[in-house]
Amino acid sequence: MLGLGGTVDYEIEWDSAVLEGLVEAYGIAPGDLSTTAPITDERSLVVTVLAFLELGVGGERFVASSDIVEQFAARFPTRITLGGTGVRAGIAMESLGVPSTQHLVSIDDNVRRLLPASTAYISSADRDTLDPHLIVQFAAGTRVAAGGIDITAPNSNRVILANDPPNREMRLSAELPATLRGAAAFLVSGFNTMKDRALLESRLEELSLALAHLPDDSLVFYEDAGFYESTFSSRVRERILQHIDVYSLNEDELQEYLARPLDLLDPEEMSAALVQARALIPAPVLVVHTRYWALAFGVGAEAYRAGLVGGVTMAGTRYRVGDGHDADDYAETLGFEQHAGGVEFATAIESRFPGTAVCVPAYVLDTATPTTIGLGDSFVGGFLAAWYLSRETADA
């Protein structure tokens, strides 16, 4: 069971010339760039995108109106896809033949057309709506130079910008408790888009009641994300930690929580970071996925080694192939060379935390056209699929 909300995404095809034209048209200066300023019009959206590009990091931000998304997207070739952690994770799982049921909070003809035919769903929506999420991805080395701006992305990444009322409201389907009774695993995600504290509290209470219907041996997996309201993150943790088995986050979210940049290949620095993160997020097992490696940290972490391998393999497959990858592409990724720094780091971190840290390296995947959209979602799908298949094999 994968939830809690799906999205319709507008994936634009990056064009530096368009951004440079907007820099000049809006008179944007280096001092204007900010990843945290409110996005109230197209100018402030461009300012935000450029700020993320300059840092080479990813994130999610709230936009004052979907009209701003439509205005900006209309300047580029745009592809309509489905997003949301649960939906993309489910598509990834489906590529390996692992079935899932989606919990959706919105639906329209795009969803009906693009959701795999084998994927079941329940929905809390009582009518069709469309509130697209703008997905802006850029490759390492992407440059924007106009006016006083001259910036180059140090890394490949993506930015998500949206105003999505159904996902902000996060209504839970009345069918959720009954559906959970047969779930081997339940993915919880999506609270990061909520902005009303009272509504958040109500949804967390509803979710707690629904979770009581899960089988005792089900896996509850929580995937973190960039919260529109930063203070909501800790409240969500307080309410759900007692229910979950795995708390997962990516390198950007880890660094944001610890309020400092991290050398992801330095075992000493990352050891301290993991201890600090575990104190902040005292889940049974903490999973961190990065461009170089993925690890599970906590008592019983070894049980998730297969999941980590599946996660980095699925994310790597999406990175190099993009949409439409299949089991053959996944198998091919397994044969790629592992990242040397990741291998060295994995060995070092496991020796520092014997029995409580499991780490697997990512792959060396050089491509001129990397896909940075949905890598974390694909990691989750690969993790859950591999965990499920390994459990089925063990029970056979």
pLDDT of residue 396: 64
Share of the chain above pLDDT 70, in %: 100
Question: pTM for the complete prediction?
Answer: 0.89
The class of domain 83-128+165-395 in CATH terms is alpha beta
- 61: phi then psi, degrees, rounded to nearest 5: -140, 150
Nearest to 234 by CA among 185, 197, 187, 288: 197
Round the average pLDDT of the chain to a whole number and report it.
95
C-alpha neighbours within 13 Å on the C-beta side of residue 17 = 1
DSSP SS3 for 112: helix
Angle of helix 305-321 versus helix 327-334 axis, rounded to 10: 110
- CA distance readout (Å), 163 to 7, 44, 84, 168, 341: 11, 15, 14, 8, 39
What is the C-alpha separation between 25 and 244, in angstroms, rounded? 49
Q: Region 74-85: what's the mean pLDDT?
A: 95
Q: Is there a contact between 278 and 286 (Cβ–Cβ < 8 Å)? A: yes
Mean pLDDT of 75-98: 95
Domain ranges of the chain: 8-81+131-162, 83-128+165-395
Q: What angle do CA 314, 319, 322 make, to 5 degrees?
A: 95
Looking at the DSSP bridge assignments, the partners of residue 151 are: 144
Euclidean distance between CA atoms 38 and 45, whole angstroms: 9
Residue 351 confidence (pLDDT)? 98
**Statement: residue 6 has pLDDT above 90:** yes
Residues whose CB falls within 8 Å of the CB of residue 178, separated by 6 or more in sequence, listed in order: 213
Distance (Å, rounded) from C-alpha 227 to C-alpha 5? 15
Angle (CA) 254-246-383 rounded to 5° is 90
Among candidate residues 314, 338, 288, the one with its CA nearest the CA of residue 93: 314
Query: Contact at 8 Å (CB) between 259 and 276?
Result: no
Residues 317-341 pLDDT 10s: 999 999 899 999 999 999 999 999 9
For residue 4, give both structure tokens: 């809690």
Query: Class assignment of domain 8-81+131-162?
Result: alpha beta
261 C-beta neighbours (distance < 10 Å), count: 11
What distance in Å separates the CA atoms of residue 6 and residue 82, rounded to the nearest whole number? Answer: 7
Would you state the pLDDT for residue 51?
Answer: 97
User: Mean pLDDT across the stretch 68-79?
Assistant: 96
Coarse DSSP helix, strand, coil percentages of the chain, rounded to the nearest 5 percent:
45, 20, 35
- Alpha-carbon distance of 258 to 390, in angstroms, equals 33
Would the pLDDT of 394 be above 90? no
The number of residues in the chain equals 396
Are 375 and 318 contacting, i.e. CB atoms less than 8 angstroms apart?
yes
- 8-81+131-162 shares its CATH topology with 83-128+165-395: no
- The partner residues of 293 in beta bridges, in order of sequence, read 361
pLDDT in tens, 194-251: 999 999 999 999 999 999 999 999 999 999 988 888 899 999 999 999 999 999 999 9
- Residues 379 and 323 sit within 8 Å (Cβ to Cβ): no
- Long-range contact set of residues 271-279: C-beta below 8 Å, sequence gap at least 24: 271/349, 271/352, 271/353, 274/349, 274/353, 274/357
> How far, in whole angstroms, is CA 218 from its chain's centroid?
22
Answer yes or no: is pLDDT of 395 > 80.
no
Contacts for 75 with CB less than 8 Å, ≥ 6 apart: 18, 22
